[in-house]
Every structure is written in structure tokens, then in C-alpha cells.
A = this chain, B = another copy of it.
Amino acid sequence: MADRVISLTPTTALFLWHGVMRRALREEHPDLTARQFALLLQVFLTPPPHTVRGLAADLAMSKPAVTRALDRLGRLDLVRRKRDKDDRRSILVQRTVKGSVYLREFGDLAAKVAKDLP
């Protein structure tokens, strides 16, 4: 990967988080829980396929919790469920354009905050 954090000290990380969360709260970024957000990132930043049980294992959460998080993210159209044709018990969690836009905006926000850091 070409882009890289050259140096992020613990203190700077705290200021970064502070700036980002503060601004995210103000902008009414539909406030996802930590788990919902982690799930969204997992789907977009790691290679498919993404199943419910796989996500549950990856993020150390229960399957019902994953189902509910998918309900919420699906309602927001940030991810989409699709049945696996090869094993119709499984569902494949897929990315959506809206989810991609949402994360790009978040990344932009974080980058901007980082640039203006004390």
C-alpha cells in the first residue's frame, strides 16, 4: 500500500480520535455503534466472502449481534445481504455504493482532522 502513517504517537492518536469523534457527532453521521462501524469496516476493508459466522468470529461478537448490525446497516443501505447460491444456508454480505461513499467521507474527515492537528 502506497499511503502510510509515518509517525503516530499515542498522544497524537488521542487528539486525532478526539477531533474526529467531536466532528462526527456534530454532523449527525448516523451514529453507528462501535460494533456496527467495525462491521462496516470489516466488510469493506477485507476481501470477500463475508458470512455472518465469519464476521462474528472476526469481530468477536455473537451471531445475533451480527444479524442485528446487518439489519441496521442494511436499512441504511450501507451493506447488502445476498444468499449464497452454492450453500443456500449462508448469506454473503456485500458492499454498496452508499457504504463506499460513507466510508470515503469518514476517511476524508479523519485525514482533514489529522492535517489540522495541534
Contact = CB atoms under 8 A, between A and B. Distances in A.
Contact of A11 (B15, B60, B107): B107
B16 A25 contact: no
A103 B80 CA distance: 35
A111 interface: yes
Q: How many copies does the complex hold?
A: 2
Residues of A contacting B: mostly: helix
Interface residues of A, number: 47
Given A7-B3, A22-B59, A25-B59, A14 B34 contact: no
A93 B8 CA distance: 29
Interface string A83-108: 00000000000000000000110111
Nearest to A14: B107
B59 A45 contact: no
